Amino acid sequence: MNFNEEQVISEISSIFSPLNQKNPRVIVGIGDDAAVVATDKHSVITTDMAIEDVHFNREWSTAYEIGSKITVANLADVYAMGADPQYLVVALTLTGNEEMQWIKDMARGIADTASASDSAVVGGDISRGEKIMISMTAVGSSRLNITRSGARVGDSIYLSALPGWSRAGYEILSKKIPQSSVHTRALAQFKSPELNPTLMRSFKSAHAMCDVSDSLLVQANQMSKASAVALRIDSRKIERAEGFADLAAVAHSLDVDVWDLIAGGGEDHVLLATGINLPGIHIGDVCEGSGVEFLDMKKAPESWRHFN
């Protein structure tokens, strides 16, 4: 063991606490039985965890990337409700074989990503385990409650960005594909998915919204069912999206169908929304009926979603 619990808590606290001290809404920060924070009338709460060798791998990703990625997953779920993230707590399992610098880098990845979304880590728990595990809970301020059930006939359907990059990055790494410049964006999105707070907040007039972390196909079906409408997605509109040609080139290098990446991949933390005149990529329309229809697609995309 390179450290004891008190040292780890002290090092991590010194990374998270400055964000609390600058934040007048954090009344009691790290170090007591619980944090005390100012909350609004309605709050959102969500939790998402990342486990070594299931969701991440220390050979593939840096500590900073691992910390950032799980933070993005939690923040995206808050934005997907039309809410604004405010507070995070982190339960962390360490094996005892990590270097202190690795732990500090991971905490820095969490802190920087939280800070970019005006959020602060206000508490945590630390334990020993056989694998590294980061379990995070995000609390945010909600005024809107944009659920999956608000899609209306006549709405347009939007994505905040083209999905598929994260799955492509996973394929490159897991199949040990020789890496070239065509793979850069996919690898970056897998290791540390981008989260643009300004873009995420620009969807607050959506009627229905969710993130597509479980794949576009799975989550469009969930939205269709929850809203009792049909979602008609036009593949040609997606083909015109920024990055499509590049993603198609990556898919070609991997010998997979680009639509399997776009519709069947996951972990992109892209928003799927319906409404009128939303930003992002207009990909189709909400119609009467049920289910999800992909127009002009040669074969049905597969979903890779499984128990992880």
Interface residues toward its own copies, by CB under 8 A: 1, 4-5, 27-28, 32-49, 51, 54-55, 76-78, 80-81, 83, 87, 89-91, 93, 96, 122-125, 127-131, 133, 135, 137-140, 142, 145, 147-148, 209-211, 306-308
Q: Which of 284, 251, 302 is nearest to 157 (CA)?
A: 284
> Alpha-carbon distance 289 to 274, whole Å?
16
Q: How far is the CB of 236 from its own copies (least distance, A)?
A: 28
End-to-end Cα distance, the chain:
29
In DSSP terms, 133 is beta-bridged to: 51, 93
Which CB sits closer to its own copies, 7 or 180? Answer: 7
Which CB sits closer to its own copies, 57 or 137? Answer: 137
> Alpha-carbon distance 154 to 22, whole Å?
45
Length of the chain: 308
Angstrom distances, CA of residue 254 to CA of 179, 298, 304: 11, 19, 15
Q: How far is the CB of 284 from its own copies (least distance, A)?
A: 21
> Alpha-carbon distance 266 to 30, whole Å?
33
Which CB sits closer to its own copies, 58 or 236? Answer: 58
* The pair of three-digit structure tokens given for residue 230, joined into one six-digit string: 């049909």
> Alpha-carbon distance 233 to 149, whole Å?
18
Q: Which residues, 6+ apart, have CB-to-CB distance to 214 below 8 Å?
A: 266, 305
Which CB sits closer to its own copies, 36 or 300? Answer: 36
The DSSP element (H or E) to which 10 belongs, if any, is helix 5-21
Q: How far is the CB of 31 from its own copies (least distance, A)?
A: 8
Q: How far is the CB of 55 from its own copies (least distance, A)?
A: 7
Which CB sits closer to its own copies, 6 or 288? Answer: 6
Q: How far is the CB of 13 from its own copies (least distance, A)?
A: 14
Q: How far is the CB of 120 from its own copies (least distance, A)?
A: 11
Which CB sits closer to its own copies, 103 or 122? Answer: 122
